[in-house]
Structure 1
């Protein structure tokens, strides 16, 4: 099969699979701890044999699992089959008609379309989006919830590797001890903290005061995603800026949180891909919010596309594949360096992802 336009640029074939990957150490947040990560991978081939690769990391919190993703992917892929992959507006409108939820599955198809389209026009994805590779911020490294000494060692190793920014996962009754351990392990690092919605509003404000003493830059998702008034209370009384992640899933959520957040966290896996993530990013800018591009623990097949958004953002949290065990990821991307630097100049075409 060739594309609908008849010139071989349409999606002629596709395949999907799941990939399970071991982490280099168990990774904990306030909602639980995991030792493995699973992504769904989509490959699209056009009529001239060019291939685009995309992936998504389904998370039940955002309405999807690997099993549900694999169930709905054939319906999503039926939308793009025979079509030029660059018709993203048309594709996403049709996605809404055939599948509810499952943003990571949508993201996998969207990323594969972006990758294939950029390869067809022989341009890097970041250039196709109009982004300046020299403006990409450095990625932070996430220090997961663990005993304080383990978090100190993790922070020290990340600082030794060259990371300048660390994100510290919190949400326990020993948060101060954990932050102190991280600060001891990485005394020069810029710290951000992420409670993943674990704190009550007054608790978050109290903790913000002593967190400021550790030179923390901002606190991410201090209260439950549904607690909009709690988020406002923290925003108005906190000693630190506030970032909204779980409270701001798509562009439609931005107006509801923009008057109670300083930073909006954009992720392909919760927004549904590059196209809707860009809409969320621009909505955040229109409301005078800063933006951080984030990720799940996932394969480079999706992180490479997220990195293409980084130049348009103030902060980056794109360490997902760096948390995997050596050799666990079947894909490589040289644009995210082991020290957190983002070097998009190495991308020649597409997202820049390659198979190992």
Structure 2
């Protein structure tokens, strides 16, 4: 067997500017990886690098030739452990780059066996949580409109970005616009530990489910302080990058929020999920702003999760790939009738 691998860089406009406590994004640069076997079957994966973790589209573009050389040298899409181990030896950083290759190989391997990816893993398609829909920081009126629109579209869970001097006003606005919605909030490291504890009190009164990454990842003691005193559960995101971080945060949060682009691949994501479980944590899988070239793969891990935040492709004005419909937030793997991840080029 032989494999040919290639990649391209794509720039995708967002439906509208997306703001969190660290800044505003108007477009997303992803890199698309394709791996083709000698029968002409192609697996597709996507990289969505995050500058916050020291990775950019330029760095991904720079290392992908080395990673794809590993793929071609091994020449077997089913040798996933071998290839991912060798990729880590070649490129220690740039997890999004390695992740794109991992997804493309998993997609190809499942297509060669003519099964959806979750069946390759032997997972129960009926045991999937709904994904949340994210409401970014904006004017009060626009937040009201976005929350109401998401609720009207059937999304039962809203993730609300916070981290400024309008936090209470924002959550009250979302609650008024979507009174029946489950609300989760994400401060993206913008609060102090004491501020987290204080805000958790009124957030609980407004029916918020949990708080995601309230304090800086560089302050593990602050995370522990918030966790031990908060009126709400705490999810760790920026504090939890790979499986090796989980033992260090296990006594400082209730939920580990993993992302494929942080872990560096699907095999490592599954290890991280198992590690979190072994430390008594609940598990959420999140995402960057990504094409369905990678989001579709993430959905196949849904049976292993307690919470899902996989709406990254929904924030794009136009995605070059079709993927999960997410009608009403549902991750409906048992409706998947395509082999592989289910991502299809438009």
- TM-score tier, shorter chain, comes to over 0.9
Deviations 1:142-181 (A, max 9, x none): 0001122211110000000000000000000110001111
Q: For the residues of structure 1 that align with 2:120 and 2:241, how far apart are their CA atoms?
A: 25
Once the two structures are superposed, residues 180-239 of structure 1 have per-residue CA deviations (whole angstroms, 9 ceiling, x without a partner) of 111111110000000011101001111111100110000000100111100000000000
Shift of 1:24: 1.0
Aligned pair partner of 1:312 in 287, 298, 304 = 304
**Quick one: which of 60, 77, 97 aligns to 1:85?**
77
Question: Cα offset for 1:266?
Answer: 1.2
Farther-moved stretch of structure 1 (335-344 vs 30-39):
335-344
Assess if the C-alpha contact under 8 Å between 1:62 and 1:103 holds in 2: no
Q: CA RMSD in A?
A: 1.0
SS at match of 2:35: strand
In structure 1, what is the equivalent of residue 246 of structure 2?
254
The C-alpha deviation readout for 1:285-314, integer Å capped at 9, x for no partner, is 001110011111110010010000011100
Say whether 1:267 aligns with 2:259: yes
- Tell whether 2:327 aligns with 1:344: no
1:63: how far off?
A: 2.1
C-alpha separation between the residues in 1 aligned to 2:129 and 2:78?
27
| Structure 1: distance between partners of 2:54 and 2:18 | 21
Equivalences for 1:67-82 in 2 at 5 Å?
67-82=58-73
Q: Does 1:50 align with 2:23?
A: no
Report the alpha carbon displacement of residue 257 of structure 1 after superposing the two structures with TM: 0.3
Give the TM-score taking structure 1 as reference length: 0.95
| 47-56 or 89-98: bigger deviation | 89-98
How far apart, CA to CA, are the structure 1 residues paired with 2:62 and 2:115? Answer: 32
- Where in structure 2 are there 5+ consecutive unaligned residues? none
Equivalent residue in structure 2 for 1:65, among 44, 47, 56:
56
- The structure 1 residue matched to 2:184, chosen from 185, 192, 199, is 192
Would you say how many aligned residue pairs link Structure 1 and Structure 2?
Answer: 344
Structure 1 residue matching 2:126: 3-state secondary structure: helix
In structure 1, what is the equivalent of residue 345 of structure 2? 355
Look up the match of 1:38. Answer: 29
Instruction: Report the TM-score, using the length of structure 2 for normalisation.
Output: 0.98
Deviation of 1:61 (Å): 1.0
User: Which aligned segments of 4 or more residues in structure 1 are displaced greater than 4 angstroms?
Assistant: none
Deviation at 1:59, TM superposition (A): 0.8
Shift of 1:105: 0.5
SS in structure 2 at match of 1:134: coil
Report how far residue 274 of structure 1 moved.
0.8
